[in-house]
């Protein structure tokens, strides 16, 4: 048992559900960014972000169509979608300053979602990617560099939340293994 999914078909269903969530989340970000960019509110970089968010949504829609046509478990497709998300969020936070800090909540949701859907290895990789995102954003954003306590809080949160989830996954894995063993013992006894 790697995540909560038990087989390739269920992993493909998880991937499709994750992509649908991604479409909704990016759509909400678009509703936040695009009207501001069109109205000329915010920094000049906002127009770039609006274009990138729109492109991101279109690529995600194409990924959803790909999953619908070819629903098998596809790690490369999952990895591509994750990299697309983390790079897009990192770039947006890097140039956007304070108004785009709430996007980090999506990063935490990605870590937890990947861990629960695809297991401990995915949880660890997602955590490393999130820490890299913080490092890159801090390197490029004056706002982040000027707020070291905020950055420290994000780093600690990025370490503590996945550590807790990892512990829960380990307990779940142990309970699942015990249940399987009990079921097997019962079957042997009845045979």
What is the rounded radius of gyration, in angstroms, for the C-alpha atoms of the chain?
20
Rounded average pLDDT over 157-178 = 88
Using one digit for the tens of pLDDT, what is the confidence trace for 34-56?
Answer: 888 888 887 778 888 889 999 99
Is residue 86 within 8 A of residue 137, CB to CB? The reply is: no
For the four alpha carbons of 127, 132, 135 and 141, in that order, the dihedral sign comes to negative
Confidence of residue 182 (pLDDT cuts 50, 70, 90): confident
Global pTM? 0.78
Is residue 138 within 8 A of residue 131, CB to CB? The reply is: no
Q: Is the pLDDT of residue 7 over 80?
A: no
Residue 184, number of CB atoms within 10 A of its CB: 10
Where are the domains positioned within the chain?
Answer: 8-190
Using one digit for the tens of pLDDT, what is the confidence trace for 86-110?
Answer: 999 999 899 888 888 888 999 998 8
């Amino acid at each position: 048992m790697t995540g909560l999914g038990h087989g390739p078909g269920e992993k493909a269903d998880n991937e499709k559900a994750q992509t649908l969530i991604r479409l909704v989340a990016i759509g909400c970000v678009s509703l936040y960014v695009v009207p501001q960019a069109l109205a000329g509110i915010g920094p000049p970089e906002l127009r770039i972000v609006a274009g990138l968010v729109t492109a991101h949504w279109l690529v995600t829609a194409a990924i959803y169509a790909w999953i619908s046509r070819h629903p098998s478990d596809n790690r490369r497709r999952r990895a591509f979608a994750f990299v697309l998300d983390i790079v897009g969020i990192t770039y947006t936070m890097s140039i956007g300053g304070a108004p785009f800090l709430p996007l980090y909540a999506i990063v935490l949701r990605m870590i937890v979602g990947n861990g629960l859907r695809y297991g401990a290895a995915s949880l660890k990789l997602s955590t490393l990617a999130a820490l890299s995102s913080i490092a890159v954003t801090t390197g490029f954003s004056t706002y982040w560099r000027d707020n070291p306590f905020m950055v420290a809080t994000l780093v600690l949160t990025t370490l503590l939340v996945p550590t807790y989830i990892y512990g829960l996954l380990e307990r779940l894995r142990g309970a699942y293994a015990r249940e399987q063993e009990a079921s097997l013992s019962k079957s042997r006894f009845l045979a």
